[in-house]
Chain A
């Protein structure tokens, strides 16, 4: 039940956003079509990498799935790495679905190399959001807490990134928004799709993304416990 719900959220939410942001007169105020695609991809990444991942890990830790794996002769690190690979695979599928829908129904087609860049940036973004997910399960032991509050993560991770290109809420908000994990990802995605030229800000976004990944991964691995109590 829960599995299928998160599956729907994972694939339907980005697509709904992609289509819905194109409806209505004010859609242009949010940004162009590339912005809509990058928003959809960011939502998909947060959903798979942060929310979906941390809920799945917390649940499996609670029910003893990990302890059962840990008594097999498989080296412990393979247990985590196999989970990351599964999430990366899901991100890949999600990104391809979003780009195909964008091409077929939103009318955005990219030159072939931009598709490649976009998918590569999506995978880089997975590292950022997976490490955030890892930090969350490292710091929060209880699956119940995560179940209740996990979806609130969308607010800082996506909500913040929405204001990166507008100073309507003030320059501080814009700055925070632009340099938030979601903001960096959208900067990189829109460049990958050829909407913005390569610039110093892109290097900044790239470095910030690496920095977020390292910091959150270290927190998430250092404080991770295999049992919840």
Chain B
């Protein structure tokens, strides 16, 4: 079975700043893969390169069986994307935005189908509102709808639960689980260890542009349980967060 995403030797630089320093990662089919790291670790830069928003300095990106660097438009057609910060045309209503993006992805939807889709995410009453008039949770649900409007095999979510209340967060986790049941693969970034443990099959811990370790949350805990720094970080039984802190250090990031 070919992986949903295979990245090798990926390097992203902004001038002299190396944001992503030769990383490899592989998201298997039907897998929820978490990219964990403190602020500035390079998570968004790595996703941006995969999404085709910036040109990497080096590396290969294969989405399904498409070489994303050689065939960017074909790759984008297979990819569902939710950016870390996103917005839609301020003059359009939700219905119009759905129609626009469906069109951009080559999907035709009737008005009844659009209403049905908005109903599924509890936004039927907001159908003729503008995006900026929605609450944070509503915006989140809506941009996830847009991200999956074309039924993509691989979905990239950049800090999808940042700023959400616990109810909205749980609901999003359920949606992500449902995506997987529908046969999709998911690559998400987060700094919530709770989230990583709750939804991710495997996680990679990233810092300073490098991937430090990869594995299931349980395997990472087992592998690093006896590191002196992990022991020192732990208050009681070792958690994923203890492993994270031990690997990425204690100093604050912006």
Contact = CB atoms under 8 A, between A and B. Distances in A.
A69 interface: yes
A60 interface: yes
Of residues A67, A68, A69, which shows the largest number of chain B Cβ atoms within 10 Å of its Cβ? A68
A71 B73 contact: no
Contacts of B86: 64, 67-68
Contacts of A67: 53, 83, 86
A172 interface: no
B76 interface: yes
Contacts of B81: 68, 71
A63 B87 contact: yes
Interface string B88-104: 11110000000001001
Contact of B90 (A59, A69, A70): A59
B53 A72 contact: no
A3 B90 contact: yes
A24 interface: no
A71 B79 CA distance: 8
A74 interface: yes
B104 A74 contact: yes
B92 to A, nearest CB: 10
Contact of B87 (A65, A72, A226): A65
Interface residues on B, range: 20 to 34
A73 B81 CA distance: 12
Contacts of A59: 90
B52 A69 contact: no
Contact of B105 (A65, A72, A226): A72
Contacts of B167: none
Contacts of A71: 51-53, 76, 79, 81, 83
B133 to A, nearest CB: 11
Contacts of B104: 69, 72-74
Interface string A60-86: 100111011111111100000000000
Nearest to A226: B53
Contact of A60 (B77, B89, B143): B89
Given A64-B86, A68-B86, A3 B76 contact: no
Contact of A3 (B51, B52, B91, B106): B91
Nearest to A74: B104
Interface string A36-77: 000000000000000000000001100111011111111100
Contact of B53 (A63, A70, A73, A75): A70
Contacts of A60: 87, 89-90
Interface string A200-229: 000000000000000000000000001000
Interface of A: 3, 59-60, 63-65, 67-75, 226
Given A63-B90, A65-B89, A71-B51, 13 more contacts: A3-B91, A60-B90, A64-B85, A64-B87, A65-B88, A68-B83, A68-B86, A71-B52, A71-B81, A72-B101, A72-B105, A73-B76, A73-B104
